[in-house]
Amino acid sequence: MLAAAQSHEPAERKRALETLFAAYWKPVYKYVRLRWNRPPEDAQDLTQGFFMELLERDLLARFDPGKSRLRTYLRVCVDSFAANEEKAARRQKRGGNALHVALDFEAAEGELGATVMHPAAIASPESLEEFFEKEWVRSLFSLTVEDLRKLCRERERESTFHFFEMYDLEGDEKISYAQLAKAYGIPVTDVTNALAWARREFRRIALERLQEICASEEEFQREARAVFGWNAK
């Protein structure tokens, strides 16, 4: 995707950047709020300003996937940007949001309240990296869940999404496959199959999204391992 983000073809470049921003704006916003201890309004300005800076200074062109992960690179860029916020504020005034990515800061703020990690607990660089990675996974999975919701609607599989929501998103342990089957008047095997389908599609969509924001097959494999926890010991 980073190759696409630097494409000379404006439409391809725009699409690639929008995909990247959609996946990263929330982690960046939350990171600024916690790491830089900024009030919501400042953090919003900083987040928008950061992405403008990314575009204007073509920072993605300097990213080398062989040296670091994109996440780490972006986080370091955010740190450097936030350290010079006056400059950021000027850019924000001069620029404006050229890409059509809806930034729902209110929702991000609400999520921040639910975030487990307390600002006091994220002092070390490792925990900052961990925090940023977790928020990045949350962002990617949230986008994937929305894609899956749309897919289910298109295929008239709303009940499938409902099962998925109840079981995998809400994690309501009081509900069994049998109860869902009874509620919908279908055999238990249908619930099993529906959930297997939803999980398979979720996995496919998440990997597709991930592939879009990776510069190489090697980076994709590395990122997939991180996102799905395949590196976990």
Q: Binding residues for other proteins, per CB under 8 A?
A: 104, 107, 110-111, 114, 116, 134, 137-138, 141-143, 145-146, 167-171, 193, 195-196, 199-200, 202-204, 206-207, 217-218, 221, 224-225, 228-233
| Closest distance of CB 230 from other proteins, Å | 5
| Closest distance of CB 30 from other proteins, Å | 12
| Closest distance of CB 84 from other proteins, Å | 31
Q: Name the residue nearer to other proteins (CB basis): 41 or 217.
A: 217
Q: Name the residue nearer to other proteins (CB basis): 184 or 228.
A: 228
| Closest distance of CB 127 from other proteins, Å | 15
Q: Name the residue nearer to other proteins (CB basis): 81 or 131.
A: 131
| Closest distance of CB 69 from other proteins, Å | 16
Q: Name the residue nearer to other proteins (CB basis): 82 or 103.
A: 103
CA angle 56, 59, 62 (to 5 degrees): 145
Q: Which two tokens stand for residue 136?
A: 């990045």
